[in-house]
Structure 1
Amino acid sequence: MVPADPAFDAWMAEEYAVATTAMLRSVSPTGLVRVRDAFGQVIAPKRGSVVASPAPGFYDPNPDYFFHWLRDSALVIDALLLLIAEGSVSRDALSHVDDFVAFSLALGALDGAELAQRRDYRDKVAPQFQKYLRTEEELAAVSGESILAETRFNPDGTLDVIRWSRPQHDGPALRALTVMRREAMAPAPAAGCRRAMADLLRADLDFTCRHWQDPCFDLWEEVFGHHYYTRRVQAAALAAGAAWAAALGDRHRSARYRTAADALGEALAGHWKADAGCYAAHLGRTEADGGPGADPDIAVVLAVLHAKADADAHSISDPGVQATLARLEAIFAGDYPINRTADGALAPAMGRYRGDIYGSGGAYYFATLAAAEFYYRLAAAVRGGRPIRATRDNAVFLERMPGFPRLAPERELGSTTDERRAMVAALLAKGDRFMATVRRYTPASGELSEQFDQCTGEQTSAKDLAWSYAAFITACAARSRLLRLMATA
């Protein structure tokens, strides 16, 4: 049994409620208006849009995140689906998903060439901000399928005219995964919504299938090349898409998706770097790209979580992914002053990668919560009978788990009931230590920003980041599912 900690459980319940309410403020925020004076814009969000942060900011110092990111919006809607499935919000909230699908389809009809030809948007931009506009040539190329390579849009359903890191290819794959999860839920979508979902899925999956070999910017929008995160969610989307297409009788699409998913699996294997003891987040980057290099990156952990991958290669059960997380824990434990002064009840506050300079270069709520969710989900897999394979690669990961069986090369841990119980308890305790770290650096209001400072623990960067709330919801739900499993005979 799990030792009771009423104060911890009460905080989890309170923060879950705060996160739910706060995240929903970013979904279809039609009551908000964003005036972006420097660019002459008045943005009134449409139903179905999802803003990364509803808080105003103009890099003063908080960033302007009042945009509909393809990636962030898919993660938020996915967390909403989980809230609905868990009964935390009414199934009436499925209307938000229907609106999200309709909004997403409308984005696909945008025409950058028409906008570039009009040029009227340029006349509204203050002279000192003209340099931040996209070129007319770049905008003119944004039409048809290339719309899906856009990183973000204005939540009023218009193209973003500000220079940014493009193209980016993880968004369509993540959106496809989210829409397929909605299709599998009860009640089934109405006929019109189901047709809209099918249209969006075909567009997203076809794009992913055609462009998975193309380099793009990573999820941090910093490095151009081939990325573990992008490839992992693409592989998951195409594998699920192959089954979806087969169920519709579309054997041609199903075969193409399956072939691409298998090829992506082979490509992902090339990210393993034995000398570094981790999966490389990026391949094919150039010196001019800047950003992180061979050091481990939390993007690898996020990749397997967002792909909902619990078994086999490139999942929470993969010794290489476990090794990557262990290296990240060691790096941030030493690099961040707040971790060097933490007591033994806390796990390290986690960042993105060593040397990060964005914002305060600090710890991220969604990164620390990702570590918690990883341990909860691994514990659930072990509780369900999946062993953990001990290898040279994950030796450090396993050695840092008090209560685990003694190591033996290539041994499968968890082969007996007693071993499994000890391992599940240890993994749960480790996840709780990461949650305790989040608790330590969450204000009494329960508000979650993007980062908290690595020296002071004070919140920094975007306020009320929807992704931070979504990450809390998914981590908390993973813990709840684990406890339910542990309560069964």
Structure 2
Amino acid sequence: MTNVVNVWFKKSRPQNDGPAERASSFILLADSILKQSGDDTYVTGTLKPAIFKDLDYVVSTWSDGCFDLWEEANGVHFYTLIVMRKGLIHGANFATRNGDNTRASTYTTTANTLKTKIDTFWSSTYITVTQSLTGGVQKAGYDVSTLIAANSGSLADGFYTPGSDKILATAVVIESKFSSLYDINVNAPSYLLGTAIGRYPEDTYNGNGNGHKEWTLAGQVKVSSITLPFFKKFDTATVEGTVYKVGTAAFNAMTQNVALGANKFLSTVKNYALTNGSMSEQYERGSGKSTGARDLTWSHAALNSAARAKAGAPSA
């Protein structure tokens, strides 16, 4: 069994989202330690070297192919680039605070280059998932990792944030791909449950809610040609150019309908995935029964992130 596991990990490495995500987490930890105790011994001696090592790696490898977060496709991935950009921007600020202006400049320059590259994943109707595929799973590109990227890898700058146009457009396209694919979606009472969504439609393995806050801070949300299919789900009378302004009945009705739609997705998770507080890796598309790894950390972390976003405190 050990040999099988080792072969699997060798086949699905490198996986370059990890260093960027680790750096972002360590920066949060470092800032928290300094804020609470003011003692920078552990930060300076342990965390800072690790943060810079990870981000220096990102600078030198971001354009290289690697495996995606599902460990299935080798190429250049939207999700990986998004979390890399976040890590580098956090890292540039961290480097500046620690007097390393050379690294701060390098991280900022690379983050700007990544921003340009990330925009090339937009296909005019949805965000594609992988470019320069050299091996592994081939798929059309409708992958929920693009939405996960917005939730866990975006910053408060409007660039592929959960409430941004291209993420909303991608969300409605992905949902449409799954609406008739799984038996539990075809047979589900639509007024109670949202669409059960898998990783991507071709997946054969083992057999959302910060937008309102974003719109409120902006003062309004405008329907574009890109987001029209999304908003029509919640207001059939809407047209391109419609502006929902904060404080109006139209804005309140729209956001309420979007919230109800989001709650249906959480109800779907509760109905199929959550059993006595435990969540497995997946639930079956036909029966809805839990399957895969028991008590998977990712599943619980995703639910916690969704709950925090619904409460108005999304992950940093």
Deviation at 1:215?
1.1
| Equivalent residue number for residue 180 of structure 2 | 334
RMSD (Å), alpha carbons: 2.2
> 1:182 and 2:32 equivalent?
no
SS, match of residue 284 in structure 1: strand
Structure 1 CA distance for aligned equivalents of residues 15 and 299 of structure 2: 21
Is 1:383–1:420's contact at 8 Å kept on the other side of the alignment? no
Matched, 1:228 2:78: yes
User: 1:159-181 CA deviation, whole Å, 9 max, x = no partner?
Assistant: xx953301111000011111222
SS at match of 1:388: strand
Structure 2 contact 280–293 (Cα < 8 Å) conserved: yes
- Describe the shift of the 1:467–1:200 C-alpha distance in structure 2 as closer, same or farther (beyond 3 A): same
**CA distance, structure 2, for counterparts of residue 337 and residue 382 of structure 1:** 35
Per-residue Cα deviation, 1:127-149 (whole angstroms, up to 9, x for no partner)? xx5x7755xxxxxxxxxxxxxxx
Matched with 1:293 is 139
- What does residue 264 of structure 1 align with? 114
Match in the other structure for 1:424: 255
**Take 2:250 and 2:37, find their aligned partners in 1: how far apart are those partners?**
41
Distance 1:434 1:253, change over 3 A: same
Say yes or no: does 1:465 pair with 2:313. Answer: no
Q: Share of identical aligned residues, percent?
A: 27
CA–CA distance in 2 between the matches of 1:248 and 1:352? 40
Amino acid paired to 1:282: T
* Residue type at the aligned position of 2:40: A
After TM superposition, the score normalised by the length of structure 1 is: 0.60
Quote how far apart the aligned CAs of 1:480 are. 1.7
Pick closer, same or farther for the CA change 1:175–1:189 going to 2, 3 Å: farther
Q: Which residue in 2 is equivalent to 1:281?
A: 129
Partner of 2:220: 387
Query: 1:279-309, CA deviations, whole angstroms, 9 ceiling, x for partnerless residues?
Result: 11000114xx242433311010011111143
Provide the secondary structure at the position in 2 that maps to 1:283: strand
Could you tell me how far apart the structure 1 residues matched to 2:270 and 2:215 are? Answer: 26
- Check conservation: 1:292, 1:353, Cα contact below 8 A: no
Contact 1:312 1:318 in 2 (8 A): yes
Residue 18 of structure 2: aligned partner: 171
Contact between 2:139 and 2:202, CA under 8 Å: does it hold in 1?
no
Mapped pair 1:441 → 2:290: no
- Secondary structure class of the residue paired with 1:469: helix
Unaligned segments of structure 2, at least 5 residues: none
List runs of 5+ in structure 1 lacking aligned partners: 1-37, 40-128, 135-160, 361-372, 483-489
Q: Deviations over 1:17-74 (max 9, x none)?
A: xxxxxxxxxxxxxxxxxxxxx33xxxxxxxxxxxxxxxxxxxxxxxxxxxxxxxxxxx
- In structure 2, relative to structure 1, the CA distance for the partners of 1:290 and 1:228 (3 Å cut) is same
Equivalent of 1:378 in 211, 215, 218? 211
Change (3 A) 1:254 1:211: same
Select the structure of larger CA radius of gyration. Answer: 1
| Aligned residues between the structures | 310
Higher relative contact order (CA 8 A, sep 6+): 1
Shift of 1:319: 1.3
d(CA) in 1 for partners of 2:58, 2:151: 19
String of CA shifts for 1:190-232, please: whole Å, max 9, x gaps.
4232121111111111111111111111111111111000000
1:223 to 1:443, Cα distance in 2 relative to 1, 3 A: closer
